[in-house]
Amino acid sequence: MVDVILGLQWGDEGKGKIVDYFAPNYDIIARFQGGPNAGHTLYVGGKKVVLHQIPSGVFHENTVNLIGNGVVLDPVTLKKECDTVAGFGVDVRKNMFISQRTHLILPTHRALDKASELQKGNDKIGSTLKGIGPAYMDKTGRNGLRVGDLLDKNFTTSYIRLRLKHQRLLDNFNFQEDITAWEEEFFEAIEFLRSLNVVNGEYFINEGLSAGKKVLAEGAQGSMLDIDFGTFPFVTSSNTTTSGVCNGLGVAPQKIRDVMGVTKAYCTRVGSGPFPTELHDETGEELRKLGNEFGATTGRPRRCGWIDLVALKYACMINGVTKVIMTKADVLDQFKKLQVCTGYEIDGKESAYIPFQMTRHQINPVLKSFAGWNQDTSKITNPADLPVTMKEYVAFINQFVGANVSHISNGPGRDQIVTV
């Protein structure tokens, strides 16, 4: 069977650590969507490592890692990551595989991303400018190049043809970008990519399942950034929800067992877009400081606020979440009072639903107050030792969203996680 770990908020929930924690229980870890706009932070031997493309199980010797067809792959980013991982004694040629059907991010995709975002002016969506959106547009427009195309002798011809098409689009934007250095890096990385294990991903994973292998599907970003169900248009370009596992790996729905949804004990968001519980005061700044809330990929300061249970319940519903994993609970240790959002006041009326277009309404959060635990929880390993007020906080969330918190992460270390 396939178990799934994905984000339930706007990304940055700490999924990398959670995947790393569960990885020893699985034979295959598979990324099913997203690109190098994702940043999964791990601590290996006390050293911080941020992975953008490689699945988070790469540091476990007996675990195989698959980059699935639903991912868009930047060869340059991948090569840099492989070099970093090699510094820890890991040989990706032994334990990492890439689906032939995975689409490539070209240098001109990055230029198009930048041109498109600049044209939006004040309506920017907060793109990471990694070329993700344009790469997915080429995929749905049936123009893209895939990893399997690298093995074709006509790859360079196909690349030039697509590059010319992109150049015409850039001319329409009246945008100039010297991509010479990007292209040099790209073709160096392409040669490296050819030396890796390229496989027919859907057969690879289904044959593994037939042989009794346990698979963990790793998502990037978060459910509220899903292209269909997120806060459109301030979303990513892929399906970040459970349905993306089937499309992004080639597995049937009945193969999916547990869906483990990751949420922070509070809320953050990077970039533009609606955020009903955002705090623009000292409390929001304190959350940012204590949680070190700066983007793993971009370094941008994250917007911070109280946990949004309307959005969390919605995310649990569309994903079929069976277990909730709460991260960064220790960040709330110093707060004497906490709040949670239990409803939206929209145009004077209270609602328990996510509206079709959040940007068209004035949304005020309906907040419920809780006593904070106001003590250091970072060294707790036994659930019985968790503060009573934390247990009350978690119990309310369980009841509200209809899925129970199974694990609480109380620090960045691998061992800082409490099984509830």
Scored b (16 or more CB within 10 A) or e, 332-361 reads bbebeebbbbbbbebeeeeeeebeeebeeb
What's the DSSP call for residue 160?
Answer: H
Catalytic residue among 3, 20, 40, 113: 40
- What the block records as the tokens of 348 is 């004077």
* Cα–Cα distance, 239 to 248 (Å, whole number): 9
34 in helix, strand or coil?
A: strand
Helix (H) or strand (E) holding 306: none
- Positions of E strands within 8-110: 28-31, 40-44, 47-51, 64-67, 72-73, 96-99, 103-104
Give the Å distances, CA to CA, from 83 to 42, 76, 192. Answer: 16, 11, 11
- What the block records as the tokens of 6 is 């994905």
Give the Å distances, CA to CA, from 17 to 99, 151, 224, 244. Answer: 24, 34, 20, 21
Q: Are 124 and 64 in contact (CB under 8 A)?
A: no
Helix (H) or strand (E) holding 4: strand 2-7
The reply to whether 40 belongs to the active site is yes
Tell me the Ramachandran region of residue 130: left when phi exceeds 0, alpha when psi lies from -120 to 50, beta otherwise.
Answer: alpha
Tell me the Ramachandran region of residue 121: left when phi exceeds 0, alpha when psi lies from -120 to 50, beta otherwise.
Answer: left
Rg (CA), the chain: 21
Catalytic residue among 12, 20, 226, 308: 12
* Other residues' Cβ atoms within 10 Å of the Cβ of residue 153: 6
* Largest Cα span, the chain: 65
* Cα–Cα distance, 400 to 324 (Å, whole number): 12
* Cα–Cα distance, 104 to 147 (Å, whole number): 6
Q: Which of 320, 311, 231, 318 is nearest to 264 (CA)?
A: 311
Where in the sequence numbering do the catalytic residues fall?
12, 40
